[in-house]
Chains A and B, each alone.
Chain A
Amino acid sequence: MQVKQIAEALWEIAPSEKPGMLVPARIYGTPEILQSMDGGVFEQVTNVACLPGIRRYALCMPDGHWGYGFPIGGVAAFDARSGVISPGGVGYDINCGMRLIRTDLTLDEVQPRLERLMTELFRRIPAGVGAGGFVKLDRSALEQVMVTGSRWCVEQGFGWHRDVERIEAGGCLAGADPEKVSDHAVSRGIHQLGTLGSGNHYLEVQVVSNDRMFDPHAAAVMGITGHDQVVVMIHCGSRGFGHQVASDYLTVFEKAMRRYGIAVNDQQLACAPFSSPEGQDYFAAMNCAANMAFANRQVIMHQVREAFATVFGRSAEALGMELVYDVAHNIAKVERYPEGELVVHRKGATRALGPGSPDVPSCYREIGQPVICGGSMETGSYLLVGTDAAMRETFGSTMHGSGRTMSRAQAKKSVRGDRLQQQMQQRGILVKAVSMSGLAEEAGLAYKNISDVVESVDRAGITKKVAELRPIGNIKG
């Protein structure tokens, strides 16, 4: 398969390279990043380019790696009238996403109480296998969560009214219909609101230093001031609830494809016309799971504020714990582009709207939408902003994280969880983990260097760096 460089950090695979490709495949990344990508990315992004109704390109971001059906880092847009929707283009963890909270605290103030803070966060925020949340829901309440997302949480006192203004789509996607969600999904999700999960999900206390600020103006607009300011990042999604929705509809779509005469190169690319009853049912159920994920991160943020207030003896308001932004990176949304209404799938990819977009909160419209990218727990994370170039080239999308280069099994063979925990503590990163094997799986050596990945999107112009966030405390499932 010939991969041709067409710009400094952009590569293209022509439709002639695989039978059935309807559009070119495009991969973002520096030459070094491209070389580090696993072969599955090239196979999978070209499979996506074969799906009915795809427009312009099948895209993969520089943090791309092998996924189910679509690669992680995959972006594809389908005509809303003639194209498809695919659970494989959203991912199992519907609305997995990132949330960033600022504080007025500095490293000097937090360091002496870091152990107590991390213990308090670990106590308040359930993580790992089978952990249930402190919010007890009945089915009726869960259905309200499915329909209203973060807004339900704020009404219950888990957050501030102004929080929802700084969440993608106001923390509540329209078109959610609980009747399209199975009883199995409800049973799995009913205990899980306010839980972190496991895998690559985490809660991290981070520091922003002056020497790692790249756009002080944009940072200031977001309340990021540098001077060793402490911030908190949350990475999680819709837990077992979203996974069950995805599994249920993959089965539905496998049968529907035969009825609609759709053939795909990979069973995990199962899809249905967006306008079909099956497509609309999945979209309604997916929106329920997406709203549950917004609510999940909202409840976790509430617990973070409570933990900080307990440890520092001041209210969360007095500590300046404002939400910077919350953004999904596993989602399908109907968005308007010059071609018309498109169903934009982002799987391990973040929406990155440019300045002036009406869908960016008014407080950020001047600078563009905040983009939150989580790195490995050893290396750090980045805050970026969307650009006009992203609107033109990538359906307003960019990277979401580091991207793995090593399997979980290999990572566990390379490092022991307890040893890694000690090494990180020696480097000033305090880790609380439910599972030591899970910790080993998430070692920094299993990921690309996030700075190289960020450099790719910055050079390509589809997002611009604002600040680097360095970890000092991490909670893992």
Chain B
Amino acid sequence: MAFSYRLLDDVALADLAFEVAGDSFPDVVQGATDALIETMADPVTVGATWSQSIHLEVTDPADLLFRWLSELVYWKDAASVVFSRAVLDLREERGVWKLDATLVGAPVDRIAQVLRADVKGVTKHLYDVKGDGGRWTARVVVDV
């Protein structure tokens, strides 16, 4: 697995954007997941007392990444948690991308955790997921 991500300075004035590159689509999903988790809180400061299993089946890779990242935002608010990591099992079977994920984190604790941005939505603005052989990229703008 190999991926990298970087914050984009000039894409979203009032919000946050990041770009992920990886060797495969699962790598890009992992990279985007890590980027979003780190946008909300420093994962090193977040424990592992809460977890949630999530299953998604989607044909279009771009839709899958969008729905998965939206799940992170949803659980952040619905369970009042931030995340330390996400364990992903993503595979393609007969043209359908299947994701089995375990989201791990802890209830928000503003003393113990280094909290960052309260991401409120994943947007379609300049949203882009591309794959070409061994090179995949994704660009995501999140509303904060």
Interface residues of A (CB under 8 A from B): 38, 40, 65-69, 72, 92-93, 128-132, 184, 187-189, 191-192, 197-200, 239-240, 243-244, 246-247, 250, 266-268, 404-410, 413, 434-435, 437-438, 441, 477
The interface bits of chain B over 21-53 (1 if a CB of A lies within 8 angstroms of the residue's CB, else 0) are 000000000000000000011000000000000
A404/B123 in contact, CB under 8 A = no
Q: Which of A92, A131, A191, A268 contacts B120 (CB 8 A)?
A: A92
Q: How many A-B residue pairs lie within 8 Å, measured between CB atoms?
A: 127
Q: Across the interface, do A188 and B74 meet the contact criterion of CB distance under 8 Å?
A: yes
**Which residues on B are within 8 Å of A, measured CB to CB?**
7-17, 40-41, 70, 73-74, 76-78, 80-82, 107-108, 110, 114-118, 120-125, 127, 143-144
Give Cα distance in the complex from A438 to B112, angstroms.
17
Query: Which residues of B are found within 8 Å of A92, using beta-carbon distances?
Result: 120-121, 123, 143
* Distance between Cα atoms of A39 and B82 in the complex (Å): 35
Q: 14 A-B Cβ contacts within 8 A?
A: A93-B143, A129-B40, A129-B108, A130-B82, A188-B74, A198-B118, A199-B118, A243-B120, A404-B14, A408-B15, A408-B117, A434-B115, A435-B117, A441-B117
Task: Tell me, in angstroms, the Cα distance from A468 to B140 when the chains sit together.
Answer: 38
Closest to A128 in B: B115
Contacts of B125 in A (CB 8 A): 68-69, 266-268
Could you tell me if A187 and B74 are in contact, using CB atoms closer than 8 angstroms?
Answer: yes
Which of B16, B76, B80 is A409 in contact with, Cβ under 8 Å? B16
CA–CA, A408 and B12, complex, Å: 8
Q: Point out the residues of chain A lying under 8 angstroms from B123, CB to CB.
A: 68, 92, 268
Please judge, given known A-B contacts A129-B76, A130-B76, whether A410 and B143 are in contact too, CB under 8 Å.
no
B67 to chain A, nearest CB (A): 10
B82 with A184: CB separation less than 8 A: no
User: What is the CB-to-nearest-CB distance from A278 to chain B, in angstroms, rounded to a whole number?
Assistant: 17
Question: What 4 pairs across the A-B complex have the smallest Cβ distances?
Answer: A130-B108, A198-B118, A240-B77, A188-B77
B13: contacting residue among A38, A197, A246, CB under 8 A: A38
